[in-house]
Chains A and B, each alone.
Chain A
């Protein structure tokens, strides 16, 4: 902004650019209307809704079991927490509690999925700042997690694994062995990522001090997940409002310092390490027993009431507000989508930045358009 203001006498025209909806680094169908003054951005207007499928309305005409399938399609990069949050809300409505084994499996799959999602972020963020190689490294490992999910539930992206009252399929001994093998394989790779990208001087120059969000700002914007924690605010639903037995796991919440793109990035990379810790604990304690709670009807008709449930999804605080009128389908479902809330700050943050920083900031917010538009 200062550069443009320094030359008031120079007459120049502004350039309007449509960044998206088809662009290599908008991570989906986000459209940004950028008004440029040379390389500087004067105004940025995000335009969303290209992927709006109206799942909240669709849920009003579907049974509770069918709604789990809808949830897979929000954050298609990490669908397990989506399944989980709907099931938690519906279980609260019905007064059902998932058995211990199902809880451990839910924790395990959600954390694995968080790793997969953060690996995707790691890879694509590398591409966003111009380093292509980390992408291939990240996908090598992500592929293995997806293989694990394929073994578990037959799907690689939209799992529909977590069901009302528990989980859909039990794990085999083979799967557990492979999961342990994977964790052993994965741990040293995280150090590799640090040497490859995290502490690369050019990468740090591109991302440190860029897109600063102070703690107060982050809270005011309602950011959540690594975006909030990157600013140093310690808010993690797993610690603040534990669900599925997270209170009994020993893990830390990585925090950033200044709220720059680099802090948000580092939070995610460090979170993968904590996820590994959680999965290891869950594998060690995995109790025997049923995986589905009794008493979940094939066509559930919970009593009239309202519930709110939220989980720490891969992108932040993912919540569901569910109203039942006693019928066979939810009377109203509202999703508190973290990507949607996080993206709202983009418009204000981008003004005065360089074009290259748009990509760095947008990438560091880590949105999934399926969740933004729902």
Chain B
């Protein structure tokens, strides 16, 4: 089954699902129009041999990472002279569509067909929430917790949506681009 056949099959079932503008190279990438389509599509995929949820994650498209709070001194490179601007400071790339959204991603694999389909969904950055896939795929359990912890996406229906990687006493979601480290009892 080629990518086009697969996409035609998906669109036969879900006409509102579109091909994503930016494709993940080599793999079929589709974009959902609303979060209500996620559960039907994933259960349909699961029935149609895409029963292996490989990965789920997200990206914050706000802009380049804010370095504030990460580095204690303005010049963290010891080889640079005093007062010089840091060598590596991410700056906004020209022409890239930064926007205040979280772009979520699910990657389903068919072990039988050796195919992969990547499903994407854009959410607004403030209080984003999507239905949880834990009812269909147990693999979603920890990965949703991780995405919740690092990006702050609420997965509705997750049985135990708690922090998993960062300690309890920290606040904020580190992989958001505007995250600034708040000093806690372990600093200095």
Direct contact of A and B (CB under 8 A): yes
Chain B 93-125: CB-based contact to A (< 8 A → 1; otherwise 0): 111101000000101000100101010000000
From B29, B105, B138, B165, contact of A345 by CB (8 A): B138
- A344 touching B138 by the CB < 8 A rule? yes
Q: A221-B138, A222-B54, A331-B59 are in contact. Are A57 and B174 (CB under 8 A)?
A: yes
A326 contact set on B, CB distance < 8 A:
93-96
- Which residues in window 20-75 of B have CB below 8 A to A? 22-27, 29, 51-55, 57, 59-60, 64-65, 67, 70
19 residue pairs from A and B, CB less than 8 Å apart: A49-B164, A49-B167, A52-B166, A219-B51, A222-B139, A233-B111, A235-B111, A304-B93, A304-B96, A306-B22, A306-B23, A306-B24, A307-B24, A308-B116, A321-B107, A325-B93, A326-B94, A327-B91, A331-B64
- A61 touching B70 by the CB < 8 A rule? yes
- A332 touching B59 by the CB < 8 A rule? yes
- A92 touching B111 by the CB < 8 A rule? no
Task: Give the dominant DSSP class at B's interface.
Answer: loop
B14 contact set on A, CB distance < 8 A:
none
In the complex, A11→B93 CA distance in Å?
67
A334 within 8 Å of B by Cβ? yes
In the complex, A221→B53 CA distance in Å?
8
From B54, B59, B90, B143, contact of A328 by CB (8 A): B90
Counting chain B CB atoms within 10 Å of each CB, the highest count among A66, A221, A305, A325 belongs to A325
B180 within 8 Å of A by Cβ? no
From B57, B59, B60, B137, contact of A222 by CB (8 A): B137
A329 within 8 Å of B by Cβ? yes
- B165 touching A48 by the CB < 8 A rule? yes
Q: A305-B25, A308-B25 are in contact. Are A62 and B88 (CB under 8 A)?
A: yes
In the complex, A345→B134 CA distance in Å?
13
Other than the given A221-B138, A304-B96, A327-B91, 14 more pairs (CB < 8 A) read A57-B65, A57-B175, A60-B65, A61-B65, A61-B88, A61-B90, A308-B116, A325-B93, A326-B95, A327-B64, A327-B90, A328-B90, A332-B60, A332-B175
- B114 touching A308 by the CB < 8 A rule? no
Q: A222-B137, A323-B59 are in contact. Are A340 and B90 (CB under 8 A)?
A: no
- Which residues in window 42-64 of A have CB below 8 A to B? 48-49, 52, 54, 56-57, 60-63
From B51, B55, B111, contact of A319 by CB (8 A): B55
In the complex, A373→B167 CA distance in Å?
12
Residue of B nearest to A329 (CB): B90
Nearest 6 A/B pairs, CB to CB: A222-B139, A326-B93, A344-B142, A325-B96, A336-B55, A334-B57
- Which residues in window 327-355 of A have CB below 8 A to B? 327-329, 331-332, 334, 336, 340-341, 343-345, 348
- B90 touching A220 by the CB < 8 A rule? no
- A307 touching B25 by the CB < 8 A rule? yes
- B96 touching A334 by the CB < 8 A rule? no
Q: Write the nearest CB–CB distance from B46 to chain A, whole angstroms.
A: 9
- A328 touching B96 by the CB < 8 A rule? no
- A334 touching B55 by the CB < 8 A rule? yes
- A308 touching B118 by the CB < 8 A rule? yes
- B26 touching A336 by the CB < 8 A rule? no
Q: Write the nearest CB–CB distance from A182 to chain B, whole angstroms.
A: 34
In the complex, A49→B116 CA distance in Å?
30
Counting chain B CB atoms within 10 Å of each CB, the highest count among A234, A329, A344 belongs to A344
Q: A49-B164, A61-B88, A62-B88 are in contact. Are A319 and B65 (CB under 8 A)?
A: no
- A341 touching B25 by the CB < 8 A rule? no
B138 contact set on A, CB distance < 8 A:
217, 220-222, 344-345, 348
In the complex, A219→B105 CA distance in Å?
19
B64 contact set on A, CB distance < 8 A:
60, 325, 327, 331
- B88 touching A328 by the CB < 8 A rule? yes
A317 within 8 Å of B by Cβ? yes
Residue of A nearest to B91 (CB): A327
In the complex, A215→B92 CA distance in Å?
47
Residue of B nearest to A306 (CB): B24
- A317 touching B54 by the CB < 8 A rule? yes
- A327 touching B57 by the CB < 8 A rule? no
In the complex, A101→B54 CA distance in Å?
31
A306 contact set on B, CB distance < 8 A:
22-25, 29
